[in-house]
Chains A and B, each alone.
Chain A
Amino acid sequence: MSNEQPLKVLVVDDEIHIVQVVAIKFRNNGFDVITCENGAQALQLASDEKPNIIITDVQMPVMTGIELVQNLRSNPDTAELPVILLTARGFEIEDRQKAELNISAYVSKPFSPRELLQSAEEVLKESVAV
């Protein structure tokens, strides 16, 4: 991975400590990390920075994680972008909505950065394979 362009991950959460811990974990493992604190900023960054994967919280001010994914899916450029939902309220998302949003993985808070990294790597492998 060191000779290749590092994979870019966009981390979205209004909790600064969560953003930081995820960013450190991914940077330490060779990722290029960009961060923001709400869905609206993430939408802009997804378009400008073309990340390989987005890790986002669900409940956020201005634009929620669900609204962010809906917007991503409606844009052909980002429609297939892998998204991992990082949430304390995963149980509230209906199966139907999950299928519609095409979420790659769900990680519930409190979460393990180690497992989140593994999950992101698996999703990225699958997306490359596809």
Chain B
Amino acid sequence: MKKKWFVAMLSLFLIFALSACSSSGSGSSGGKVTVDVFQYKVEFKNQFAHLVSQYKKVHPNVTINVTTVGGGSDYGAALKSKFASGSEPAIYNIGGPQDLHDWKGKLADLSDTQAAKDALPGTLAGVTEGKVVYGLPYNEEGYGLLYNKDVFKKAGIDPASIKSSADLANVAAELDQKKAQLGIQAVFAFPVKEQWVTGLHSSNVFLSPEFGENVSNAYKSKTVSFKYGQQFKQYIDLQQKYSVQPTASMDYATQVEQLFSNGKVAMIQQGDWVSTTIQGIDKNFEKNNVGLLPIPIDGYKTDSIPVGVPMYWAVNSNKDANTIKAAKDFLDWMNTSSQGKSIVLNDFQFIPAYKGYDASKIQDSIAKEVYSYAQKKKTIGWIFMGYPTGWGMNTLGADIQQYTSGKMSWNALEKDAENAWKTNRGQ
């Protein structure tokens, strides 16, 4: 008899549990405002929580709930489910023109914020339509060829002497010859498995010129022509030839942690985001031993590195006016108030995308180099957010895997990628 009661209680409990899932949400009542933030950057979760608690001290009426879901495509999927479930966040992230198009109607106009006025020139290109700004940049990131300073010194190579792809090839050949005495396994670690490294970042270097380095042009373009395709091919060939093999199964962790951080290779193509990873393995190595080289494009720029904005903050226009106002105020406070700025610079360790920062305080060494390139205006614009959806990784990235395995010729690769672009944009 007792058992029966237990089961009845349990089923009742289950019914309650099921029905309890559907209440809670954000909004404003009685002067108190709740702002739900749904963001992608896992790396600065704790520091962001710190920023929120500081904001709370100045604005006791505003409650900010942060949810973090990390990592490229997962964020997009999670955000869609979040919207579908009915509990829409007030602040979320968009990546560029495609997101701008997809989320249109759920994006508030941010043109009147201080942050939009302070954003560095060019950083708003991907999220502006006409004169209306829909997103505010997180930060700036840059990448290029990271090199091991120690290895270069031992080999007697001056990194500043690399001024063309021929120079780069010579240096690679020289390092390859001396690899036993330098104690390296190979010159490069080329992670062909990571389609974002090849299909998005490498390709960006060689496709950016033909779109005038402007992400919106890439997004609007019906075709892609591989104007610097030969240079792109040489760059891929060079890395494939002098890399630790097999490249087709090499992932990010092997490239950055196992090989580069342990001094097993001389060069890798990565950006400032690897700093924390390298610091986790060897603090001194990160501080003293990592340099940044541009990827030379013969016939275009040979001394510049790609710098761009990885993600933007956006505000949900479906929310009520109070919540939108609070959300904008929070973003302004984070990016333009002196307290916010100091957290962005010192705790987030961001390369700021806004005016008025004391850049000499940037702490990590790769970020410092990226920033100095940006200061000298030796940059190439990021345009891969303007590729057709999935094109960079699933088409180009996969084709590069076929090319490096010898299953596809370079001409066929260019054809296939051009056709895929055309079909996608034709719709």
Asked whether A and B interact, the reply is no
B-binding residues in A (CB < 8 A): none
A-binding residues in B (CB < 8 A): none
